[in-house]
Chain A
């Protein structure tokens, strides 16, 4: 029998039992829908995270005191005082790190900010004056404090949008004064809203010299941020930074570094690995439903073979070979599952699209819908394979029937 006619026969066999066929593929539809949904959302989440990391500056290199490693002994090192003013000056020296555009220390703490009877606890970032240049965020009201403010330990702050709303409701904040610990600070700028996923909204920035003196009472830095002139120079700059700091700290063995240099690429790679692993795990869970769906297909195909014993007998009596019958029933199973796969892909993509709309509009996330092309191809191949694998047993049962016994079957 020609393949075209086998296909026609199989489609006819399925369409005569529409409701049964659609119930049969439900398991496959659900399985493929979940896989597509998970893959699409996973990809969306990954892109969101990566774009946020890029927002932190693709050319940014961050130096953290202490060595981050995976051993148990280094927990104490994470609150290390290894980054000091001497290091800052060495890194600023162009002879040491020629491609450094900005070198800026940061200290991090938290404190209560008070305006009248409004109290709000928030993160305090002590930084240099280059926050707007490095992180690409410019106050939409007022200005960011200057290098002179840093030198003179001026009591000025730039506040995030959320802090402004908590302390001043809708009122103008620039020029107003707030109290942090025992000092009064003048607000010189307010940062624009960046959305729920940004930590800038919920922070107060002040000169690091001011923060060291009045908030933290320390001489060392929580981190030093180096902005490199171009992405191509990141790797060489990381090496320059390491060499400079090792010289400064008298370290000869790189394994004994008391600082850690990370780049945006490192962070995105780590986070990418984590989201990939999560996606793979969820896909594996969803795949279980495909197996269950496949067993459902096998079950119904067996029922169908029994029910159509007489038809099989007739076809054989009229000249159908074992192969013709096998092909017909295998095609039926494969068409069933592949149809389930296509519906699953459409449904999964639609759900993923709706979720991306909801995330964008209600949470204000910059979430992009991604159609998982890889997942779609995989979905069709996998669902077709399930039809083949789980259809083989019933199809063989059908093809092995003797024409006379099949015709006699009641």
Chain B
């Protein structure tokens, strides 16, 4: 049973009477524990797809079943809870809260969860250990380098032990060295902890860390292939 299953997924933006078809019948399955990269030129609909899969946006037509649940049957509150409990997000722009410590940033999803407060500290610390940032725990988010910020964002994404982590161009704002460190951490999380990972990137180099690459073009799936020669990270300690 796939974790993510879409059938003929459509997304049509309607702004000032102009209709834009961002997704035109996307059908795909992603199994639990898979590491999938989604690629495509700008305007191909890859960001729209990940937003719909991540429940940050609604689809216009078709069906989306996440962990056996048809998303069409859920209200906004239930969807918010699903985002909180089952999903983690890593954005290109990091989106950390400035003027908050690294630890507080990582704790943020926990504050919206049902998990008892007594466990937050340990969970946040574990997540920071997993991305190799336990020594920066009490620093202000603004004091970090770009690469470190993105690693905090990854820690925040996995602190709730989600079923799937969505990463929308996580290396896009980073220099190549930091970018490599970030993608290697993501690969390590997949390998060692079995997280399902859906990664958007426009760099083939980055995509090759994944097991499977889905290419979108003009709102449709152009290709969906297994990566024959996976790139393996050195796993920074």
Contact = CB atoms under 8 A, between A and B. Distances in A.
Interface of A: 1-2, 5, 9, 12, 16, 310-311, 313-324, 402-404, 407
B85 interface: yes
B156 A321 contact: no
A322 B109 contact: no
Interface stretch (B1-9, B110-118, B205-213): B110-118
Contacts of A320: 80, 112
B153 to A, nearest CB: 10
Contacts of B57: 402-404
B76 A321 contact: yes
Given A403-B56, A407-B95, A318 B89 contact: yes
A226 to B, nearest CB: 75
A315 B83 contact: no
Interface of B: 51, 54, 56-57, 76-77, 80-81, 83-85, 89, 91, 95, 97, 99-100, 108-109, 111-113, 117, 156, 160
A321 B97 CA distance: 18
Contacts of A9: 111
A2 B112 CA distance: 8
B85 A311 contact: no
Contacts of B113: 319
Nearest to A15: B99
Given A310-B95, A320-B112, A324-B112, A2 B117 contact: yes
Given A5-B111, A324-B112, A318 B51 contact: no
Contact of A16 (B76, B81, B99): B99
Nearest to A1: B112
Given A5-B111, A407-B91, A319 B84 contact: yes
A318 B162 CA distance: 11
Nearest to A310: B95
A192 B113 CA distance: 77
A319 B111 CA distance: 9
Contacts of A403: 56-57
A374 B95 CA distance: 47
B14 to A, nearest CB: 14
Nearest to B54: A317
Contacts of A16: 99
Most chain B CB neighbours (cut-off 10 Å) among A1, A9, A321: A321
A407 B56 contact: yes
Nearest to A321: B80
A319 B56 contact: no
A404 B47 CA distance: 11
A320 B113 CA distance: 9
A318 B56 contact: no
B95 A319 contact: no
B227 to A, nearest CB: 28
A235 to B, nearest CB: 66
A69 to B, nearest CB: 69
A40 B100 CA distance: 43
Contacts of B108: 315, 318
B97 A322 contact: no
B10 to A, nearest CB: 17
B80 A316 contact: yes
A314 B80 contact: no
10 contacts: A12-B99, A318-B84, A319-B80, A319-B160, A321-B77, A321-B80, A322-B80, A402-B56, A404-B51, A407-B56
A309 to B, nearest CB: 12
Contacts of B95: 310, 313-314, 407
Given A324-B112, A407-B91, A317 B76 contact: no
A137 B80 CA distance: 79
A399 to B, nearest CB: 10
B155 to A, nearest CB: 13
Nearest to A6: B111
A9 to B, nearest CB: 8
A315 B112 contact: yes
Contacts of A323: 77
A317 B112 contact: no
A321 B112 CA distance: 8
B56 A311 contact: no
B54 to A, nearest CB: 8
Contacts of B99: 12, 16
